[in-house]
Chains A and B, each alone.
Chain A
Amino acid sequence: MTELERWKRYRWQLIAGEAFDPALQMALDEVLTRRVGTGERPPTLRFWEWTAPAVVIGRFQSLRNEVDFAEAERYGITVVRRITGGGAMLTEPGKVITYSIYAPPELVAGISFQESYAFLDRWVVEALRALGVDAWYQPINDIASARGKIGGAAQARRYGAVLHHTTMAYDIDPEKVPRVIRIGREKLSDKGVPSAAKRVAPLRQQTDLPREVIQEHLIRTFAERHGLEEGMLLPEEIEEARELVRTKFGTWEWTAILP
């Protein structure tokens, strides 16, 4: 089976447009992964819009080691923890492009974990290249360019499904990142520096196209390559996510699960 045949086995549904706060974004990822896992929802591509800036830390990161809380507060930045591993990142409304893929495990069956990162973001690299951005996949989980890192991906294999989400910098101020995200010396010890410390090359430095146009082009590329139908979040999905914010993603117990 070719790569494209793998994708085309499913009827992909698109969710895009509505903006949510950081904790609800984390919760939606869990809810939609679960629902694709149980078959209640078709395989889905979701593009995120943010209502507020956030530092999103990885599932296995230490809160105090990663985040300068006083600085984050000073900038009005919320700190949330996601369910996938990987490094801390700074997101701001209109300044990043974030999407999630919720897929049945069969989509990546027989592909190694590491290979699956490149596989699940291949359409994005193709789309960026078509826009004149000289992008490539940098293992394990980065979308890179000659000018620097554009974005990073993270995955979780849970609840009977695969969650793969990626954030790309569109117009993030690279100066702001080290003020809220701590970067130690060991992290800089080899060429593969961590997500937050890598020289970031936001898309805006590499193309004149507005964020919305890039996002539309990404969606069109996915649609042409894999097929994609317009969809929407169901009211009960949003309600389930709100409940998860109350019980998990909005709680200190979760955010500080690894203090």
Chain B
Amino acid sequence: MRHGEYKTPGGKLVQVDCEVIGGRLHHVQVTGDFFLEPPEALDAIAQALEDAPVDASEEELAQRIRRALERFGDSLELLGFSPEAVARATRRAIE
């Protein structure tokens, strides 16, 4: 099990736990002391990282997350973190 963390300056902590199988991310769990509405958006974030190649860049990972969050429209609210913060924590878990 791999573990990575990133804390947005002035914001909140993001933790990513995952496994790397066959060069791809699996069993991704994204957690932290951030605020997020609706709560179901967290599953979408973790799902977006599932199966991502280990050599995906931070920007590519953030893009996967942003795309997965589009369906929440105006109801979406992230406070204290961002897709980029999750992507950075993910990269740290991989490295």
Contacts and interface: CB of A to CB of B under 8 A. Distances in A.
B32 interface: yes
A185 to B, nearest CB: 8
A60 interface: yes
Contacts of B6: 186
Contacts of A192: 7, 9-11
B15 to A, nearest CB: 6
Contacts of B94: none
A84 B36 CA distance: 9
A62 interface: yes
Contact of B7 (A84, A113, A139, A190): A190
Given A186-B5, A187-B13, A195 B33 contact: yes
Interface string A99-120: 0000000000000011000000
B7 A60 contact: no
B78 to A, nearest CB: 9
Given A60-B42, A62-B15, A186-B7, A85 B33 contact: yes
Contact of A60 (B9, B11, B39): B39
Main secondary structure of the interface of A (DSSP, over half): loop
Interface string B1-37: 0000111011111010100000000000101111111
B32 A61 contact: yes
A90 to B, nearest CB: 14
Given A62-B29, A157-B77, A86 B13 contact: no
Contacts of B34: 60, 85
A187 B71 CA distance: 31
A60 B80 CA distance: 12
Nearest to A192: B10
A112 to B, nearest CB: 9
Nearest to A258: B31
Contact of B35 (A154, A158, A194, A258): A154
Interface in A135-188: 139-141, 154-158, 184, 186-187
Contacts of A187: 5, 7, 13
A189 interface: yes
B5 A60 contact: no
A87 interface: yes
Interface of A: 58-62, 65, 83-88, 113-114, 139-141, 154-158, 184, 186-187, 189-190, 192, 194-195, 258-259
17 contacts: A59-B36, A60-B31, A60-B32, A60-B36, A61-B33, A65-B17, A83-B39, A85-B79, A86-B33, A113-B35, A140-B35, A155-B35, A186-B7, A186-B13, A187-B7, A187-B13, A259-B29
Given A139-B10, A140-B12, 5 more contacts: A60-B31, A60-B32, A60-B42, A85-B35, A258-B29
Interface of B: 5-7, 9-13, 15, 17, 29, 31-39, 42, 77, 79-80
